Amino acid sequence: MKVDKFSDLLVENGFFETLCTVWEGMEVAQEDLQQQNSDLEADCKRAQEALHESEERFRLLVAGVKEYAIFRLTPDGYVVSWNAEATKILGYQAAEIIGQHFSCFFTPGDIHCGYPEEDLRIAVAEERVEEDRWYVRSDSTLLWGSGIVTTLRDEGGHLLGFSKIVRDMTSHKRARQKTNDELELRVENRTTELSKANEQLQREISERELAAAQLKASLQEKEVLLKEVHHRVKNNLQIISSLLNLQSEHMQDKQARESFQVSQKRIESMALIHEKLYQSNDLAQIEFDDYVQDLVDSLFYSYEVNSSAIARKTSLDKVSLDINTAIPCGLIINELISNILKHAFPAGKSGEFQVELHNNNDNQVALIISDNGVGFPLDFDFNQTESLGLQLVNTLTAQIGGTIELNKSVGTEFKITFPAR
Ligand SMILES: Nc1ncnc2c1ncn2[C@@H]1O[C@H](COP(=O)(O)OP(=O)(O)OP(=O)(O)O)[C@@H](O)[C@H]1O
Ligand SMILES: [Mg+2]
């Protein structure tokens, strides 16, 4: 009764009608929700299918890649995927390697150095790491691989793991190694050849040094001997000169005595050359200016010239001559100065004579011997003389390749020009 009354009350007040309206509205909303729900489910399914399709395409792509082993690692380095080429290159079947730590591809030495961890650490820091190294295959053989490790992250940047790609470069490595080995071998062979050549060269150098030292010693020995020879020649010439002197003293004939004395002076002028030579450092050349000065002085004293009546002057350039020129030249000077001292200033006549030695630029030496004495007789031809002195001068000048000029304008002046040798 009470209920009836309550229903009546709801009807009476229009509440029932309102309730029905609300109910109907709720039913419409529920249908709407169901519709949206099924739409969402359909969208989700499509998305999942698309994702699955994309993953499948990626899987097929990875599986179909040739020459590159491609596999994924967890953040701590365990293998989670493995392509067919990885089996080919590294030898492991997917079933046996998935779940294993990737350090099994490293050599014991590299593991000892901590390279597996280091690779992952660098990849995390720099997003990728590239390295070329020896990899260990499932059958423990080695391959030279060129690898890249790249990080995999979600949209929020959280590390999901790594992908690793390895290419087998063993044949390249071996070919390069072979080339290097060949090069090294060639370098080694060449080095051996060079060191042998060097040793040979060193031997030759020491032999030559030894020969040079022997030659030098022998040269020194010969120089000593040559000095000794010059010394003895000079001594012998002086003995001859002394003998002539002794003999001339026993001669009654004045002319014969004088001839002996002249010869004695000739010999002394030659002895002086040998004396100069053995005193000199250079046994082949003589300092001729020095010799001329000594010869002039020696003749001046040996003729017992009155030095207050006759003056002598010398003007001598530095001239160096070999013995073959010096001896004839010394004899020429001896003759010409002897002539001046004997003939230019007769009967105590005073005057002067001069000896000049000039080193001309054209490698010619000029010897000028002059006096202001009585001079030659006007009709005198020095080329046609009977006497020995001037004949000797002519012959010896020709012998040294020289020429003679005679100037008779004041006293006598002989100019002899000859090549410096
Ligand atoms: N400077 C001089 N001044 C003057 N007359 C000279 C001079 N030189 C040489 N004569 C003359 O020329 C001559 C020939 O000289 P030469 O030297 O040929 O013979 P020599 O001196 O007489 O003898 P020797 O053969 O011993 O030298 C001399 O006798 C002398 O008359
Ligand atoms: Mg003379």
pLDDT reported for residue 361: 80
CA-nearest residue for atom 24, ligand 1, is 389
Whether the per-residue pLDDT at 277 is higher than 90: the answer is no
**Which pLDDT value is given to residue 319?**
95
pLDDT band at 8 (very low <50, low <70, confident <90, very high): confident
* Residues, the chain: 421
Q: What is the CATH number of the domain that holds 297?
A: 3.30.565.10
16: pLDDT confidence band, cut at 50, 70 and 90?
Answer: confident
Pick from 259, 337, 339, 378 the residue to mutate for probing ligand 1's pocket: most ligand atoms within 8 Å of its CB.
Answer: 339
68-73 and 79-82 strand pairing: antiparallel
For every residue of 187-203, DSSP letters joined together read: HHHHHHHHHHHHHHHHH
Give the closest ligand to the alpha carbon of residue 414.
1
Cα(268) to ligand 1 centroid in Å equals: 19
- The overall average pLDDT reported for the chain is 91
Name the domain boundary from 137, 167, 197. Answer: 167
Last residue of a domain, one of 152, 167, 182: 167
Taking residue 83's Cβ as centre, other Cβ atoms within 10 Å add up to: 21
C-alpha 295 to ligand 1 mean position (Å): 19
**Do the domain assignments include residue 343?**
yes
Q: Which ligand is nearest to the CA of 262?
A: 1
168, 89 contact by CB (below 8 A): yes
Asked, for residue 202, whether it belongs to a domain, the answer is: no
Total structural domains in the chain? 2
Domain assignment present for residue 80? The answer is: yes
Please give the C-alpha separations between residue 352 and each of 190, 254, 273, 299, in angstroms, as whole numbers: 81, 27, 26, 14
Nearest ligand atom owner, CA of 408: 1
Please state, for a pLDDT cut of 90, what percent of the chain lies above it: 70
User: What separation in Å is there between the alpha carbon of 279 and the centre of ligand 2?
Assistant: 30
Q: How far is ligand 1, taken at its centre, from the CA of residue 344, in Å? A: 9
Q: Whose CA is nearest to atom 9 of ligand 1?
A: 339
CATH number of the domain encompassing residue 94:
3.30.450.20
Q: Is the pLDDT of residue 82 over 70?
A: yes
The arithmetic mean of pLDDT across residues 60-86, rounded, is 90
pLDDT in tens, 99-120: 999 999 999 999 999 999 999 9
In a domain, 297, yes or no: yes
Residue 43 resides in a domain: no
Task: Give residue-wise pLDDT tens across range 344-353.
Answer: 999 889 999 9
Residue 233 to residues 229, 236, 279: CA-CA distances in angstroms? Answer: 6, 5, 13
Ligand 2: centre distance to CA 386 (Å): 11
For residue 367, being part of any structural domain is answered with yes
Structure tokens, 164: 């690793």
Which atom of ligand 1 is the closest one to the Cα of 412?
1
Min mean pLDDT across 7-11, 80-84, 305-309, 348-352 is at 7-11
Under the banding of pLDDT at 50, 70 and 90, the label for residue 1 is: very low
pLDDT of residue 182: 93
DSSP state of 400: T
What pLDDT sits at residue 385?
86
For residues 136 and 110, what is the distance between their CA atoms, to the nearest angstrom? Answer: 11
255 located within any domain:
no
Using 50, 70 and 90 to split pLDDT, how confident is the model at 4? low
Q: What does the pLDDT look like over 351-376, one tens digit per residue?
A: 999 999 999 988 999 999 999 999 99
SS3 call for 27: helix
Q: Residues with Cβ within 6 A of ligand 1? A: 262, 335, 339-340, 342-344, 371, 373-376, 385, 387-390, 412
201-238, pLDDT tens digit by residue?
999 999 999 999 999 999 888 888 888 898 999 999 99
Verify that 289 and 416 share a domain, yes or no: yes
Sign of CA dihedral 371, 376, 382, 387: negative
User: 109-166 pLDDT, tens per residue?
Assistant: 999 999 999 999 999 999 999 999 999 999 999 999 999 999 999 989 999 999 999 9
Residue 416 lies in domain: 284-421
Of 167, 185, 206, which residue constitutes the final position of a domain? Answer: 167
* Strand partners of residue 129: 149
CA dihedral 382, 386, 389, 392 (to 10 degrees): 80
Residue 193 domain-assigned? no
Split at pLDDT 50, 70, 90, the class of 6 is: low
